[in-house]
Copies of this chain bind each other. A is one copy, B any other.
Amino acid sequence: MVSIAPTNWPRSELTKEDREPRKFVTEHGVDLRKLPNIVDMSSESITRNVVAINSSGSDDRMKFLFKSLITHLHAFVRETSLTTEEWMTAIQFLTETGKKCTDIRQEFILLSDTLGVSTLVDTINNAKPPGATEATVLGPFYTEDAHEVKNGDSIASEGKGEYMFVEGTVVDMLGNPIPGAIIDTWETDGFGQYDTQYDVRDEPECRGRLRSAEDGSYAFRAVLPVSYPIPDDGPVGRMIKKLGRHPYRPAHLHIRIEAPGFDTLVTALYFKGDPYLTSDAVFGVRSSLILDPELVTDTSVTLSRGFKEAKPHTYVHQDFILAKPEESEDARRVLRAVTKGSVGVNGGHF
C-alpha cells in the first residue's frame, strides 16, 4: 500500500513514467483503483456519477439512503433550473437555521415540522393498526419530570387557565381494559405557553403522570389548552411568512401511554371549532383525534369534580385503544409496502 501525499504529483524531477496515472491507496484507506471514473460531469451524468462514488463504502443502508437523497436533490435542481442566486439563498438559509439552534431551540426540527417531514416520518414509524388510537408527533415539550397524580386529581395549578375535565378508559384492540397503564399528559396553559417556555420554572406545571385503574379508567383535572404560534422569530418563521402561512398550532392536549405488552402510544387530542384545526403549522392533526368537548354549565358538577371555583368547565371523554407491538409492526409493514409502491417518483430506480 503506497500512500499519496497531496504534493506528490506532478513533480518536474520525476521521470515521464512516474507522471503517468498511478494506482494508489490514499492515507484515508481509499483504493483509487476501485473508485468509478467520475470525470466530465454534465447535467445528465452528474447524478449517476455522484451516486457511483457514494457507493464505495461498506454501509449498505447508507449507500441506499444517499442514492435516494442524491437522486431527489439533483432532480429538484434540474426541474426548477435552480439559479445561482437561489442556491446561495438556500445556503444562507440553512446556515442561519443551524446558527439559530441552541440547547433549548431546535430550528432544524422546526423546519422539518413545518415542511411536513416530521409528521411523515412519524406516520411511517408509528403507524397503528385500524381500530387502534392513532399516533401523532411528540413535539418538543415532553419532559421526564412530570409529577405523579392520582386518578381524578389535577395536573394544573389554580389560575393557569379555564377548567377542563378529562376522562376515559385505556383498552386493548378487543376492548379489554388495560390496568396500570402509565399516562403522561402535557399541555399549554391558558396563555398558550408550556411550563418550559417560562424563564422561571420552579416545578412541572400543566403536566402530570397517572395510572389507569383496575377497570382501565382514568380521569384528571386540567386547563383548556389554547392555540399558539411556533417560535417564528427565526429563519423558519420568515419562510412560513413568505409562503403566506401562519405559525399557529391548534390547541391540543398531549398524551403518551405506556403499558407492558403494548406498543407505546404518543398522541394528542384536538378540539372541534379551533380555527387552526385545518391549517396546523406542523401538520399534526388527525380527524380521529378531534374531540367535540362538552361545555358543562352546571357549576355543582364543576365542584363535584374537584375544581375550586363554581365556574363552567369543559368536559372531554376519550378512550385510548392500544395495539400490541406485533399488531403495529404488521401495520407498519403494510404501510411501507404501500408508500414505496405509490410514490410515483422514480419508482423503478430504487
- Are the CB atoms of A35 and B87 closer together than 8 Å? no
A114 to B71 Cα, complex, angstroms: 14
Q: Which residues of B contact A201 (CB under 8 A)?
A: none
Identical copies in the complex = 2
Q: Which chain B positions have C-beta within 8 A of A36?
A: 278-279
Establish whether residues A285 and B39, one from each chain, have CB atoms under 8 Å apart when the complex forms: yes
Chain A 221-251 interface 0/1 with B at a Cβ cutoff of 8 Å (1 = within): 0001011110000000000011111111001
Residues 310 to 346 of chain A near chain B (Cβ within 8 Å): 311-314, 335-336, 338-340, 342-346
**Given known contacts A12-B163, A72-B72, A41 and B116 CB-to-CB distance under 8 angstroms:** yes
Contact residues in B for A244 (Cβ distance below 8 Å) = 30, 56-58
How many angstroms between the C-alpha atoms of A200 and B98 in the bound complex? Answer: 29
Q: Which one, A20-28, A147-155, A172-180, is touching chain B?
A: A20-28
CB-based contact B124/A106 at 8 Å: no
Check B56–A162 contact: CB distance below 8 A. Answer: no
Residue from B4, B81, B99 within 8 A of A98 (CB atoms):
B99
B125 engages A109 (CB within 8 Å) = no
Sort A-B residue pairs by CB-CB distance and give the 8 closest, nearest first: A98-B98, A57-B244, A56-B244, A50-B116, A72-B72, A75-B345, A30-B246, A37-B278
